[in-house]
Amino acid sequence: APATPLDLDNIQGDLLSGLPKKTQTYFFFAITNVAKFRHHLHKLVPYIKTVAGVLKDRDAIDHHKKNKHPGLVPMTGVNISFSHKGFVKLGIDDSSLAPLGDEDPFKTGQQVDAVTNLGDPKKSDGKPDWDSHFLEDIHGLILISGESHLSVEKKELEIELLFGVHTLEASIKKIIAIRGDVRPGAESGHEHFGFLDGISNPAIIGFDKNPDPGPVPVQPGVLLTGQNGDNKADGTPNTRAPWATDGSFLAFRYLFQQVPEFDEFLKKNPIAKDGNGNVLTPEAGSDLLGARMVGRWKSGAPIDLAPFKDDPVLAADPKRNNDFFFQGEINSQLRCPFAAHVRKTNPRNDLEAPPSGIAPIPIESRRIMRRGIQFGPELTKHENTSGKTEHGRGLLFACYQSSIPNGFQFLQQSWANNDKFPPFETQPEDPGLDPLIGQGVRAMSGLDPLAEQKVLAMPQFIIPKGGEYFFAPSIKGLKDTIAA
């Protein structure tokens, strides 16, 4: 089909542009009265921030900065999405959203997927070992983002009022609301282990006009249902009901991070010498170990370009900090381990442009749009000295894609949890698991640049405590079908 311009007034803002945020509340709800809910949802529609709305907000932020106004521009952004259980409750036929039928992870729900495919630890009753709220039937998720707690809390109250929460008119029940916060000061933009996050997301053809150098831009349908590139695993287009156009699937994961334990692990296993044979101080050796687990330094500089020494200037340069492809390294972990988090979750030329004689594997359909935000407090002194986590903290992981089996589920199950990926016969050793998110027998090779075959075992630093799969519909889908 010929490409038509994307309708930015019809697409929820978090999908393409990301809701601007310093803080964000994830409000998980169950529908208690269907007729009232439809009525209330109609009233919510004008609150939804679209992509066009986010672009206006960004202009306002730029204007504010340019004129050197103090503080932040007050703003909030609301988005909404529904689980399969939510559509069932509403009596909406969502079969076109789950082309794999009963096996489709959107349809089974993440609670089932977690123990059958994602590798989450389970309890004796067969359910995942999760926070109990995520074992309830979650019908939907409202995201409320903003520049301050005051703005977001006010908006949350307004929305609760709109849905009659705590009154006889209630149409929903709050299951749990989780607040995420960008980390303070210089750690802003860094996840809790200390690494800069949110650098590499796919550029979208027809939306990102001047993408920075990096992986090739993807068709809009990798992200948006019903657009060019919304394909099955075999490359044939998915057939969606008309109301499902311009939506996206949201994979949410409630991921706790064991930060003091991660720091201790780095301290106990410093790399002795860099790849040129230079002896490293214990501190430098621990920093290099962490960078080789992630594939980037804490600054964000990719180790493929700065393999043995951090380069903060490179890290801060958007024209260079995502422009790497593991070129010429298909059989080598000298610069970057095969299992490093960013190489596992986006193997770039390892699959797309391998040396001649090896068939390329396109990975466009594997790209995901990561949003999400940190939750929980900064490390306390006591946690720092004891090396043990005492307060829950981590990542409210959220990513969008037009297909969960192509995107999030595939990355977690077939790449992160698979010790043989990336899979080349000419490789001298197995890569091992993704050292951040891999679940199973956790070990990886390639951490020591001078002894690539050496395998290092490691505990679980990231513990999944909940999650669900949602569909974030278009504004038309919300108005004409879901609220109708």
Catalytic machinery residues: 197
Among 83, 110, 117, 346, binds ligand HEM (CB under 6 A): 346
Q: State the binding string over 244-283 for ligand HEM (x if CB under 6 A, else -).
A: ---------x-x-x--------------------------
Residue whose entry in the numeric block shows the structure tokens 């729900």: 109
Mark the segment that binds ligand HEM (CB under 6 A) among 45-53, 149-157, 168-176, 196-204: 196-204
Non-local (6+) Cβ contacts of 302 within 8 A are 295, 296, 314, 321, 322, 324, 336, 342
Mark the segment that binds ligand HEM (CB under 6 A) among 24-32, 95-103, 128-136, 190-198: 190-198
Cα–Cα dist 448/325, whole Å: 21
CB of residue 59 to ligand HEM, shortest distance in Å: 25
Closest listed residue to residue 351, CA positions, set 418, 423, 264: 423
Among 207, 397, 421, 471, binds ligand HEM (CB under 6 A): 397
CB of residue 12 to ligand HEM, shortest distance in Å: 21
Cα–Cα dist 190/392, whole Å: 17
Q: Counting contacts by CB under 6 A, is residue 374 touching ligand HEM?
A: no
Q: State the binding string over 71-90 for ligand HEM (x if CB under 6 A, else -).
A: --------------------
Cα–Cα dist 50/287, whole Å: 41
Please state whether 388 falls in left (phi above 0), alpha (psi between -120 and 50) or beta.
beta
Q: Which amino acid is at 264?
A: E
Closer by beta carbon to ligand HEM, 29 or else 408: 408
Closer by beta carbon to ligand HEM, 45 or else 353: 353
Q: Counting contacts by CB under 6 A, is residue 458 touching ligand HEM?
A: no
Closer by beta carbon to ligand HEM, 19 or else 31: 19
Among 294, 330, 396, 447, binds ligand HEM (CB under 6 A): 294
CB of residue 256 to ligand HEM, shortest distance in Å: 8
CB 226 within 8 A of CB 240: yes
Half-sphere exposure for 99 (CA within 13 Å, toward CB): 19
Q: Counting contacts by CB under 6 A, is residue 440 touching ligand HEM?
A: no
Site residues for ligand HEM, 130-159, by CB under 6 A, read: none
CB 1 within 8 A of CB 464: no
Q: Counting contacts by CB under 6 A, is residue 412 touching ligand HEM?
A: yes
Mark the segment that binds ligand HEM (CB under 6 A) among 2-10, 194-202, 279-287, 425-433: 194-202
Among 80, 144, 456, 462, binds ligand HEM (CB under 6 A): 462
- Rounded to the nearest 5 degrees, what angle is found at the Cα of 255, between the Cα atoms of 112 and 26? 90
Number of residues that bind ligand HEM (CB under 6 A): 28
**Per the structure block, which two tokens stand in for 217?**
């831009």
**Strand, coil or helix: 252:** strand
Among 37, 134, 193, 243, binds ligand HEM (CB under 6 A): 193
Give the orientation angle of helix 282-294 with respect to helix 259-268, to 10 degrees. 120
Cα–Cα dist 74/57, whole Å: 10
Non-local (6+) Cβ contacts of 229 within 8 A are 218, 219, 220, 221, 222, 364, 365, 402
Reply yes or no: is the peptide bond before residue 105 cis, omega within 30 of 0.
no
**What value does the CA radius of gyration of the chain take, rounded to a whole number of Å?**
22
Closer by beta carbon to ligand HEM, 250 or else 462: 462
CB of residue 52 to ligand HEM, shortest distance in Å: 25
Binding residues for ligand HEM, per CB under 6 A? 191, 193, 195, 197-200, 253, 255, 257, 294, 296, 341-342, 345-346, 368, 370, 394-395, 397, 408, 411-412, 416, 436-437, 462
